[in-house]
A = this chain, B = another copy of it.
Amino acid sequence: MEETSTTWVLLGLLAQGPKSGYELKQIVDRSTRYFWAASYGQIYPELKRLEEAGLVAGKDAPTGGRRRRVFRITEPGREELRGWLHGTAARMEFRDESLLRLFFADVLPRGEGLALLRARAEGFRRTAAELRALDALPGDDPPFVDLVLQYGIDWCGWVVEWCERQEARL
């Protein structure tokens, strides 16, 4: 099976326990979407592909008359996941508009350029608050899940400080 970018999110989340497509989307939106997004249009077809490849197994599990399909990871699926975890190639892509603005700030008068630094700091302050709220949510996350959340918070804090430092310097 040809792996897509959603393969690993789904396999990784299902390794923590069986879930429906809908649940997977909810979880992604509260966790990985900050560094690895996935939409319904990818999740449902990909689950089908994973099932055909035998990496996950789906089972009908309706709640009342409402249809529902829960997937669990299979042993070959776990194997595949471990293989990927041991891999080294790490795709990495960013699209950071406020950084792009900063990059072109030379066309503006000095003061307005510095305002862009302030705006960037402000944006990251907001994201930091968002992540701290996620952190404060009840529920006990496994250590590495927690570590990554902490990374996000620390990173936002660092960016804010960096912007403030540069603004002061210039």
B166 touching A147 by the CB < 8 A rule?
Answer: yes
B91 touching A97 by the CB < 8 A rule?
Answer: yes
**Which residues 105-153 in A have Cβ within 8 Å of B in the complex?**
105-108, 112-113, 116, 119-120, 123, 142-145, 147-148, 151
- Give the number of chain A interface residues (Cβ < 8 Å): 59
Q: How far is the CA of A99 from the CA of B151 in the complex (A)?
A: 9
A104 touching B81 by the CB < 8 A rule?
Answer: yes
B35 touching A96 by the CB < 8 A rule?
Answer: yes
Closest residue of chain B to A123 (Cβ to Cβ) is B90
At the interface, yes or no: A61 with Cβ under 8 Å from chain B?
no
List residues of chain A with CB under 8 Å of any chain B CB: 5, 8-9, 12, 15-16, 31-32, 34-37, 78, 81-82, 84-86, 88-108, 112-113, 116, 119-120, 123, 142-145, 147-148, 151, 154-155, 158-159, 162, 166, 170
